[in-house]
Amino acid sequence: MMNNINIIHEDSEIYIINKPAGIASQGGEKVTSSIDTGFAEQVGQKIYLVHRLDKDTSGLMIIAKNPTSANKWTKLISSKSVKKEYLAICVGSLKNKQGIIKEDLIQLGAKKQAITHYTVEKEWTVQIEEENLTFSLVRLILVTGRMHQIRIHLAKQNCPIIADDQHGNFKLNKLLKKHLKIKKLMLAAVKLTIPNPKNTDIYQIQLPEHMADLIH
């Protein structure tokens, strides 16, 4: 049984929820808990996913209430009308404090354009086993939305997200797990900017506790 998901916003078309880390967006084989089934049970109605977050990523997700709304919001997201912002804590530092990562990704055997805007918000040093490690808090805005795009882009900049066991620094992850008890991926979708006819709606959440506790 999945714990209740925090609803940030609700209207006649959508829910905006704060998805916890460790819960898949969509069910499937070997998936024990997922938003598409667990949240539907919570609200007592069929729901429609219009985008996804990785299982290990926490944060804001838009969920449609009916097929008409799902079609509308899928188009809004794919047309980049909805701006999604993420915060990540990485080990290492980026060369520039602000920039654009343009590096194509291979998905399903095809090369796909991938673009990520980033701003380094903070850097600090942590000493572990006589080694000084630089941690970076990085704000990221997706221009494209490829699978694991942020995780791969940061890893290719030698600034991998902490606790990324697929694309990150496995040796450092093991070290950080041992000394700092870090188990969850340090990546969260923290802000949505949504246009409407009158103005722009902004929805924000604070960093999840497992990330906030790491920042000095």
Q: What's the pLDDT band for 54 if we cut at 50, 70, 90?
A: very high
Identify the CATH homologous superfamily for domain 84-188: Pseudouridine synthase (3.30.2350.10)
Whether 61 shows a pLDDT value over 70: the answer reads yes
Tell me, what's the pLDDT at 80?
Answer: 87
pLDDT digits (tens, 9 = 90+) for 68-107: 999 999 999 989 899 999 999 999 999 999 999 999 998 8
Q: What ranges do the domains of the chain cover?
A: 6-79, 84-188
For 30: left if phi > 0, alpha if psi spans -120 to 50, otherwise beta; the answer is: left
Per CATH, which fold does 6-79 belong to?
Answer: Pseudouridine synthase (3.30.2350)
Closest to 188 (Cα-Cα) out of 161, 154, 168, 170? 161
User: pTM to 2 decimals?
Assistant: 0.93
pLDDT value for 116: 96
Q: Which of 11, 36, 54, 201 is catalytic?
A: 54
Provide the pLDDT confidence category of residue 120 given band limits of 50, 70 and 90: very high
**How would residue 216 be classed by pLDDT, with cut points 50, 70 and 90?**
confident
Overall average pLDDT of the 27-51 stretch: 92
Q: In the numeric block, which tokens belong to residue 105?
A: 């990704």
How many other C-beta atoms lie within 10 A of the C-beta of residue 109?
A: 5
**DSSP per-residue codes, 168-199:** S-HHHHHHHHHHH---S-SEEEEEEEEE-SSS
Say yes or no to pLDDT of 1 above 70: no
Instruction: Specify the pLDDT at position 192.
Output: 97
74 and 168 Cβ atoms separated by less than 8 Å: no
User: How many secondary structure helices (H) and strands (E) does the chain include?
Assistant: 5, 12
Task: Tell me whether the CATH fold assigned to 6-79 matches the one assigned to 84-188.
Answer: yes
Q: pLDDT tens-digit profile of 97-117?
A: 999 999 999 888 889 999 999
* Whether 104 is catalytic: no
Percent of the chain with pLDDT over 70: 99
On average, the pLDDT of the chain sits at: 94
Two structure tokens written together for 88: 């990540």
